Structure 1
């Protein structure tokens, strides 16, 4: 027979899907709530997620567990965004621009990592990820091809890209600049900053 189509299996699958949706709702609500108030409580997160406080505690017993889960989720989203940017396609500047477009959409989540002091204690914040390594490899390729400035350090160009994204996120969040305008400014400035 090989396939398990018993009612118990179907119920377990539905329960698993429900747990996944609930966990996602809590994480999304936490990003929204903590973006507005870094000191927000787990009760505030529960209210925003439309669940009880005990439900939040079942998934994330401590605030530190919730922050670690947000951090891991951000890392996963950065990895997926890096894949979508197709860093091996086209010239290095074109690939960097695609990466900026992808990363810009993660602004609320990435700003939390920069802005919330508790993330400093999260062990995953300082780890070099495959996405970091892919970006550094892209910059090295661009320098070798002559499409990116060969006179500045690879890590400097990486930091410049992140600094411009941060400025664009703040422009959109704090100055009510339309998102497409903030992103255009980011890409325009990046293009000039990395040019040979």
Structure 2
């Protein structure tokens, strides 16, 4: 029994360390896409040896980051409760959730080594949920029926990107940038 408890504790510790490295990598790489593995180890508060135990090569870290961000997007999509309320209200909740992922998503979009990966060019469950949501908005009258679902999806991503840039380039408070995103989204998609 003690071995099982030790094994579970070790697994939980490994998962926390891995997540800390990935989160540190997001922070470091969103600031500097050329950040070294050493920079990322320092940001994570671990030694280079520990980082290499989890991610032996930079390409392994990039693979892990890509999967980690996709999981964050899936979690954010779930938290937005897309099946509740009008479609436009659900898209606003989705915008809130995605805005909180700013550094992670900006890192992906700003660096071609991430954005060109196959998992980012294929449609995910979150993408399909968003497209269905816009179609639902056409039916419930909350989204202009002239807005093509793919256009609405691209619009959301473009507004989020603009919001993150507004925060980073113009030192605007996050809540203000989010409010600007939401206002623009409502005016662009609403019936």
TM-score, structure 1 normalization: 0.94
Q: Using the TM superposition, give the Cα deviation of residue 120 of structure 1 relative to its aligned residue in structure 2, in angstroms.
A: 3.6
Higher radius of gyration, 1 or 2? 1
Q: 1:30 corresponds to which residue?
A: 25
Question: How far, CA to CA, are the matches of 2:132 and 2:140 in structure 1?
Answer: 12
Q: Using the TM superposition, give the Cα deviation of residue 149 of structure 1 relative to its aligned residue in structure 2, in angstroms.
A: 1.3
2:131 matches 1:118: no
CA contact (8 A) 1:148 1:194 kept: yes
Query: Which aligned pairs between 1:15-94 and structure 2 lie closer than 5 A?
Result: 15-94=10-89
Question: How far, CA to CA, are the matches of 2:124 and 2:34 in structure 1?
Answer: 28
**1:89-123 CA distance string (max 9 Å, x none):** 11111111011011100000000110012114432
2:153 matches 1:193: no
Q: 1:172 corresponds to which residue?
A: 167
Q: 2:143 corresponds to which residue?
A: 148
Question: How far, CA to CA, are the matches of 1:149 and 1:16 in structure 2?
Answer: 49
Q: Residue 159 of structure 1 is aligned with which of 154, 158, 169? A: 154
Question: How far, CA to CA, are the matches of 1:154 and 1:48 in structure 2?
Answer: 39
Moved over 4 A (4+): none
Question: How far, CA to CA, are the matches of 1:73 and 1:184 in structure 2?
Answer: 27
Q: 2:128 corresponds to which residue?
A: 133
CA RMSD in angstroms comes to 1.1
**1:132-164 CA distance string (max 9 Å, x none):** 101100000111222211113110111111111
Q: 1:3 corresponds to which residue?
A: none
Q: Which moved more, 1:119-128 or 1:27-36?
A: 119-128
CA contact (8 A) 1:68 1:122 kept: no
Structure 1: gaps (5+ residues):
1-5
Q: Using the TM superposition, give the Cα deviation of residue 126 of structure 1 relative to its aligned residue in structure 2, in angstroms.
A: 1.1
Q: Using the TM superposition, give the Cα deviation of residue 37 of structure 1 relative to its aligned residue in structure 2, in angstroms.
A: 0.9
